[in-house]
Amino acid sequence: MFDHPCKLPDGSFYAPATLSTMQWGFLPNKNSKPILSVPSDSEVTFDNLSSEGMVEDQGRDPVRFFGKFGVAESDVLKDAIEICASNVEHNMATDGPHIIIGPIQVDGAKPGDVLKVEMISMEPRVPYGIVGNRHGKGALPGEYPQNDGPKPGANKEHPELFGSVFSFIPIKTITGKMFGTLKTTSGNEVRFPIQPFMGTMGVAPNTAEKVSSIPPSSFGGNLDLKDLTVGSSLYLPIQVEGGMFFMGDPHFNQGDGEVALTALEASLRTKVRLKLLKAGDPNIPVKDMKDPFAETPDYWMPIGLDTNLDNALKKTVRTAIKFLSEKMNMDNATALSYLSAATDFEITQVVDETKGVHAHISKSDFEDVMKHEAKR
pLDDT tens for each residue of 12-31: 999 999 999 999 999 999 99
| pLDDT higher than 90, residue 3 | no
Rg (CA), the chain: 21
What is the pTM for the complete model shown? Answer: 0.95
pLDDT tens for each residue of 58-102: 999 999 999 999 999 999 999 999 999 999 999 998 999 999 999
CB atoms within 10 A of CB 110: 14
pLDDT tens for each residue of 137-180: 999 999 999 999 999 999 999 999 999 999 999 999 999 999 99
DSSP state of 40: T
CA contacts within 13 A on the Cβ side of 98: 30
pLDDT tens for each residue of 249-279: 999 999 988 899 999 999 999 999 999 999 9
Please state, for a pLDDT cut of 70, what percent of the chain lies above it: 99
Domains of the chain plus CATH, in order, are 6-277 (2.60.120.580), 298-375 (3.10.28.20)
Q: Quote helix, strand, coil % in the chain, to nearest 5.
A: 20, 35, 45
Are 203 and 245 in contact by the 8 Å Cβ rule? The answer is: yes
| pLDDT higher than 80, residue 1 | no
Residue 57: closest CA among 169, 125, 133, 170: 133
Dihedral sign for Cα 19, 22, 24, 29, please: positive
According to DSSP, the residues that pair with 44 across neighbouring strands are 13, 272
| pLDDT higher than 80, residue 374 | no
CA 248 to chain centre: 6
CB atoms within 10 A of CB 71: 19
Q: Work out the pLDDT band at 375, boundaries 50, 70, 90.
A: low
CA distance 165 to 147: 9
pLDDT tens for each residue of 319-343: 999 999 999 999 999 999 999 999 9
CA distance 216 to 219: 8
Dihedral sign for Cα 283, 286, 290, 294, please: negative
CB atoms within 10 A of CB 13: 22
Residue 275: closest CA among 123, 61, 158, 108: 108
How large is the greatest C-alpha to C-alpha distance in the chain, in angstroms? 70
Residue 97 preceded by cis peptide, ω within 30: no
Residue 205: closest CA among 249, 243, 234: 243
Beta strands 13-15 and 42-47, pairing class: parallel
